[in-house]
Amino acid sequence: MSLLDPEVEGGAIEALYARGVTDGLPVVPPTRERVARAVAACGRARDAVIALVPPNYGPATVEKIAVNAVMAGCRPEYLPVVIAAVEAVCDEAFDLHGVSATTNAPAPLVVVNGPVRAALDINCGAGVFGPGWRANATIGRALRLVCVNVGGATPGVVSMSTLAHPGRYTYCIGEYEEASPWESLCVEHGFAPGRNTVAVLAADAPLGVYDHQSRTPEDLLATIAASLAVVSHHKMTHWGDTLLVLSPEHARIIGDAGWKKADARRWLWERLQRPVRELVPGKDGGEGLPEHVLRKFNDPATETTLIPKFRAPENLKLVVAGGTAGRFSAIVPGWTFSKASALVFRPIHTP
C-alpha cells in the first residue's frame, strides 16, 4: 500500500514537523486507516466532543484525540486512557488555560490506577518516570499533542513557560498498587477498588529524595519534609496539591509501623509550618509573604505565628511507585497556588 511507502511516510513526518504540530520528535503519520482503528477501539462515536481544550477551547472530538494519539505512537487500545486524560485536564478545576499559558513550568502528570495498568502494560515499577514502556511514553505524549494542536498551547508563542521541563514530552505513570501498604490514590478519592481511573496534576519535574538510613516513619518523613519545604520557593506558603511518590521500600517503612496515609500527611503538614518572622521578604531571599498577609501583623520581623506550607494535609497526595529495590522517593510539586490548579480524576471508559 502506497501510504506505507517509506519515502511517503518520511515526507509526511517532515511535513508534520514543518507544520508545527509535533513535539519535535518524529510522529506516526495519522493516516485515515490508523485513526479509524483507534476510534473503533474506544467504542465511541468519532464526532463525539469529549471537551473544549483551553486556551483556544478547540473541540476535542474522539477523532481529533485519535489523530493526536496515533501521531504520538499510541496503540489503538490506549485511546480510552488518552480520552479520560483529556477530559480530566479540561475540567475547570485543572485550569489548563493557566497551565498552558503560564511562564511557570507545569506539565500534566497522568497517574493511572486500576487493572488497565496491567492490561496495557503501563509501567508502575522500576524506572517509572523513565523511558522504555510504550504506554507511558505515548499516552503522556498524546495528551501533550492534544494540548498543543487542539488547545493551541504552542511552545514559545502562546505557551510561555520560561523553562518548562522534560515532562512536557510525556509524563505518565501507573501507581504500583500491588506494592502499596495502603489503598490506591483513586480509592482514597472515592472510586471503587478495581475501577480504572486517571488522575492529572499540573506538575513540575520530580525532585528525588534519597534516604537509605531511616527505619522509622518519623525519620523518613523528616527527610521528605525537608525536601517538600523548598517546593516553589522555601518561603512559599498555602500551596496546594503536591504528589509524593514513595518507592515501595520507603512506603513499607511507614506502612509497617502501622501508619496510614492520613497519618503521614498530618505529620508532614504539621512539620511544614514556619513562623512569620522567617517568611518576610528580604530575609533569606527577596521573596516572602505577600503584602496582604504581612499587614495582619504589627511587627512581622518578630512575629511567631506559624504559617503552613500546604493549605491542608489533604493537599499532600501519596502514591507508591517505582522499583522494589531502592530507598528513593520523589516529590512532584503541583502548580497549585491559591485558585490555580488542583488534582482531577476521571474514570476510564473501556468498551
Partner 1 sequence: MHDGVFFEDHGIPTATVISSEFQRAARAQADALGAKAYQTVVVEHPIQPLTREEVRALADKVYDEIVRRLTA
Partner 2 sequence: MSEYLDPTASVAVPRKTAPRSASLDGKTVTLLDISKAKGDHLLDRIEELLRERARPKAIVRKKKPTFARPAPDGLRTEIVGATDVLIEALAD
Q: What are phi and psi of 298, to 5 degrees?
A: -65, -50
Work out how close the CB of 308 gets to partner 1 at its nearest, in angstroms, rounded to a whole number: 24
End-to-end CA distance of the chain: 30
Q: How many residues bind partner 1 (CB under 8 A)?
A: 10
Is position 294 an interface residue for partner 1 (rule: CB under 8 A)? no
Q: Which is nearer to partner 1, 157 or 192 (CB)?
A: 157
Q: Can you read off the three cell numbers belonging to residue 195?
A: 475501577
Q: Which of 30, 106, 114, 152 binds partner 1 (CB under 8 A)?
A: 152
- 224: cell is 521528605
User: How far is CA 298 from its chain centroid?
Assistant: 40
CB of residue 49 vs partner 2: minimum separation in angstroms? 10
d(CA 203, CA 316): 13
- Work out the burial of residue 290: count CB atoms within 10 Å of its CB; fewer than 13 is exposed, 13-18 middle, 19 or more buried: exposed
Whose Cβ is closer to partner 2: residue 70's or residue 81's? 70
Maximum CA extent, the chain: 78
303 binds, among partner 1, partner 2, none (CB under 5 to 8 A by kind): none
- 292 makes contact, choosing from partner 1, partner 2, none, with CB < 5 to 8 Å by partner type, with none
Residue with cell 495498568: 117
- Among 17, 26, 31, 75, which residue sits at the site for partner 2 (rule: CB under 8 A)? 31
Nearer to partner 1, 31 or 56 (CB): 56
Judged by beta carbon, residue 72 or residue 186, the one nearer partner 2 is 72
With vertex at residue 11, the alpha carbon angle to CA 154 and CA 20, rounded to the nearest 5 degrees, is: 5
Nearest residue to 154 via CA among 64, 52, 20: 20
Contact at 8 Å (CB) between 190 and 346? no
Supply the minimum distance, in Å, between the C-beta of residue 191 and partner 2. Answer: 27
The distance of closest approach from Cβ of residue 21 to partner 1 in the complex, given in angstroms and rounded to an integer, is: 14
| Cβ at position 29, least distance to partner 2 in Å | 5
Phi, psi of 263 (to 5 degrees): -65, -45
Whether residue 281 is preceded by a cis peptide bond, meaning omega within 30 degrees of 0, is no
All 3 cell numbers of residue 48? 463525539
Closest to partner 1 by CB, 161 vs 336, is 161
Binding mask of the shown chain, residues 83 to 102, with x at each position contacting partner 1 by CB under 8 A: --------------x---x-
Q: Which residues pair with 244 in a beta bridge?
A: 318, 331
C-beta closer to partner 1: residue 150 or 245 = 150
**Contact assessment for residue 237 and residue 307, using Cβ atoms and an 8 Å cutoff:** yes
Tell the smallest beta-carbon distance from residue 2 to partner 2 (Å). Answer: 9
* Residue 163 in the binding site for partner 1 (CB under 8 A): no
The residue ranges of DSSP E strands in 80-185, in sequence order, are 107-113, 172-174
Q: Which residue type sits at 99?
A: V
Size of the residue set binding partner 2 (CB under 8 A): 35
Evaluated on CA atoms 123, 124, 125, 127, the torsion sign reads: positive
Q: Does 150 bind partner 2 (CB under 8 A)?
A: yes
- Binding at 31: pick from partner 2, partner 1, none (beta carbon under 5-8 Å per type): partner 2
Which of 40, 160, 230, 293: binder of partner 1 (CB under 8 A)?
160
The closest alpha carbon to 159, from 103, 201, 211, belongs to 103
Judged by beta carbon, residue 99 or residue 320, the one nearer partner 2 is: 99
User: Is 157 a residue that touches partner 1 (CB under 8 A)?
Assistant: yes
Nearer to partner 1, 56 or 223 (CB): 56
Per CB under 8 A, 93 contacts partner 2:
no
Q: Is 106 in the site for partner 1 (CB under 8 A)?
A: no
Residues that bind partner 1 (CB under 8 A): 55-56, 97, 101, 152, 154, 157-158, 160, 286
